[in-house]
Amino acid sequence: MDDQQLNTASNSEAKVVVKNLHKVFGNKPELAMQMLNDGKHKDEVLKQTGQVVGVLDASFEINKGEIFVLMGLSGSGKSTLIRLLNRLIEPTAGSVIVDGEDVAQMSTEKLLNLRRKDMSMVFQSFALLPHRSVIENAAFGLEIAGVDVKEREKRAMQVLEQVGLHTFAKHMPSQLSGGMQQRVGLARALTVNPSLMLMDEAFSALDPLRRTEMQDVLMKLQQEQKRTIVFVSHDLDEALRIGNRICIMEGGRVVQVGTSDDILQRPADEYVKAFFNGVDTNKYLTAKDVAQKEQVTIFERPDDPAAGFSAALERMRMYDRVYAFVLDDQHKVLGAVSAESLMACVNKRGKKLRDALLPGISAIPGSMPLNQVLQKVVEYPCPLPVVDDNGEYIGAITKTVLLRKLCKETKA
């Protein structure tokens, strides 16, 4: 191991360390690299040499067990970058260190072994083999690795069960819907039991409902066994929903890496800001424009302030919410409760509903401009309750709702 490798291994939590990674498409990559090293812009390189710079000096670390989302518009190099990680595309320069070993310098034999045993991939178009049944597709990785039929189909069956497709094992892929096909794609990737999974726009071809469903499947699998997942997406909602950290790319460059809060609060540049904020629509949109009545509300009964714990818990469970707002009989927001805070008070003598309120939660006026709302949404653990001029509850704003609204405004 050389010095550089020791240095990059400084973060013991890092599963993947990408350092100064470049990809130049064309027949004279050395020339292009020379020009880039001399500080020339990639547009200049294209103009003078005809070489296309796909990924430009990418450096970042991916932690063990996290979902790392590569985000950017089409042409930003995110799909190229993910393919450099398993060398579906050969890097021009730089290193991709996975568990201390540089994939970019690896021998063919070692690379094959890594792909077979520890690193798998899920594709946007599912890329199932049409002439094979579901179970044969799911067992594909093990078949390539030379595992015998009985063993590999047993393992494939277990994974198909995990993704809820075991009853379709003998079907052909063409007989399944898109969502189910991608479950097979996911099963194929999971069957080899990899510690690192690459997912290239894995859910982008699905309709929004199926997409959310698949995200849930992925999150559940992630709870059962923590894997490191690199997830390419152009969907902001998706990135915020499943990503532990997000890497924003533009024109082959990594612009910013951080948690969604980091990026929301401290966008690195105008591009990132534009990605999240839209074109300053937040200047004229206000809180009441985006507030939605999707949250559970609980009324405090003036005659019996200790009642309502069980009903509140039941309704939160029913609507699958972690938080609920407590209103008085005038529809004024008293605060928010969580399932946890309710549980702490339930069946305890002398506890009132008010005792379960979370500290520091207050409603915001509906007239608050969105750029201020953005700040608040990031700070709040729960959705942000919004009240009208009379102080009455009109709805709540979640991170997802807010960002979706902003995205729509940007597109319009």
Partner 1 sequence: MSYKIPIGEWVAAGVKWLETNDHGLLDKLGSVIQTATGAIENGLMLIPFWLLALVFVAIGYWRLGWKFALFCAASFLLIDNMGFANQTVVTLALIISATLISLALGIPLGIWAGRNDRAEAIIRPILDFMQTMPAFVYLIPAAMFFGLGRVPGVIATVIFAMPPVVRLTSLGIRQVNKEQVEAGIAFGCTPTQLLFKVQIPSAMANLFAGINQTIMMALSMVIIASMVGAGGLGNDVLSSISRLDIGLGFESGLGVVLLAIMLDRITESFGVKRAAKS
d(CA 120, CA 116) in angstroms, rounded, equals 7
Footprint of partner 1 on residues 174-193 (CB under 8 A)? 174, 188, 192
Binding mask 107-136 for partner 1 (x = CB under 8 A): -----xxxxxx--xx-xxxxxxxxxx----
Quote the least distance from Cβ 67 to partner 1, whole Å. 19
Cα–Cα distance, 221 to 201 (Å, whole number): 18
CB of 204 to partner 1, least distance (A): 13
For position 407 contacting partner 1 by CB under 8 A, the verdict is no
CB of 189 to partner 1, least distance (A): 8
Nearest-approach distance from CB 160 to partner 1, in angstroms = 17
Alpha carbons 334 and 359: distance in angstroms, whole number: 11
Distance CA 385, CA 387 (A): 7
Binding footprint of partner 1, residue count (CB under 8 A): 31
| Nearest one of 260, 264, 270, 248 to 76, comparing CA atoms | 248
By beta-carbon proximity to partner 1, the closer residue of 192 and 287 is 192
226 scored as a contact of partner 1 (CB under 8 A): no
Q: Is the Cβ of residue 214 or residue 257 nearer to partner 1 in the bound state?
A: 214
Distances (CA, A) of 159 to 35, 172, 192: 48, 17, 10
Distance CA 233, CA 78 (A): 8
> Between 75 and 365, whose beta carbon lies closer to partner 1?
75
Enter the DSSP assignment of 168. G
143 touches partner 1 (CB under 8 A): yes
- Read out DSSP for 119-153? EEEE-TT----TTS-HHHHHTHHHHHTT--HHHHH
Within residues 68-87, the interface with partner 1 by CB under 8 A covers 83, 86
Decide: is 23 part of the binding site for partner 1 (CB under 8 A).
no
C-alpha 201/C-alpha 224 separation (Å) is: 23
Binding site for partner 1 (CB under 8 A): 83, 86, 88, 112-117, 120-121, 123-132, 140-141, 143-145, 172, 174, 188, 192, 198
